[in-house]
Amino acid sequence: GAGVSQSPSNKVTEKGKDVELRCDPISGHTALYWYRQSLGQGLEFLIYFQGNSAPDKSGLPSDRFSAERTGGSVSTLTIQRTQQEDSAVYLCASSLPGQGTMNTEAFFGQGTRLTVV
C-alpha cells in the first residue's frame, strides 16, 4: 500500500477482554515498530521487528502484551485481559534498513485508539 495501515482506527473494549490490533507496513519495509501513546504523553516503545531476526520485546510493559509478524509483513499486537491503563493510541511504524546498523526514517500509521471501559 501507499502508507502504513492500521486497523481498527478505534476500539472500545470491556476490561478483561482480549484485543488484537493490526498493522500493515509499507511494502518492502523490513523493520516494523509498535509504540504506545497515552493521553498527552510521548511515544513509549513497545516492540520492534527487523527482517527475520528475533524481535526486540524490551518495551512490552507486561506479559499480557505480545506481538507477531507473519511472513515479514503484517503484524498483530495482542493485549490479553485488558486493563483501563491500557487505554491509549497504539502507533505502528515501518522503515527501510539504512547504512550499517542504522535505519532510515520511520513511517507511521494513523494509530488505533484503544479505550478500555
Partner 1 sequence: AQSVTQPDIHITVSEGASLELRCNYSYGATPYLFWYVQSPGQGLQLLLKYFSGDTLVQGIKGFEAEFKRSQSSFNLRKPSVHWSDAAEYFCAVGVSQNFVFGPGTRLSVLP
What cell does 57 get? 520485546
- Per-residue contact flags (x/-) with partner 1 for residues 49 to 68, judged by CB under 8 A: -x-----x------------
Of the candidates 36, 111, 114, 116, which one interacts with partner 1 according to CB under 8 A? 111
- Regarding 112 and contact with partner 1 (CB under 8 A), the answer is no
Write out the E strands in 1-117: 5-7, 10-13, 19-24, 31-37, 44-50, 65-69, 75-79, 88-95, 107-108, 112-116
Residue labelled with grid coordinates 507473519: 70
Residue labelled with grid coordinates 522503515: 95
- Regarding 106 and contact with partner 1 (CB under 8 A), the answer is yes
The distance of closest approach from Cβ of residue 10 to partner 1 in the complex, given in angstroms and rounded to an integer, is 10
Question: Interface with partner 1 by CB under 8 A: which residues?
Answer: 4, 31, 33, 35, 41-43, 45, 48, 50, 56, 91, 93, 97-98, 101-103, 105-111
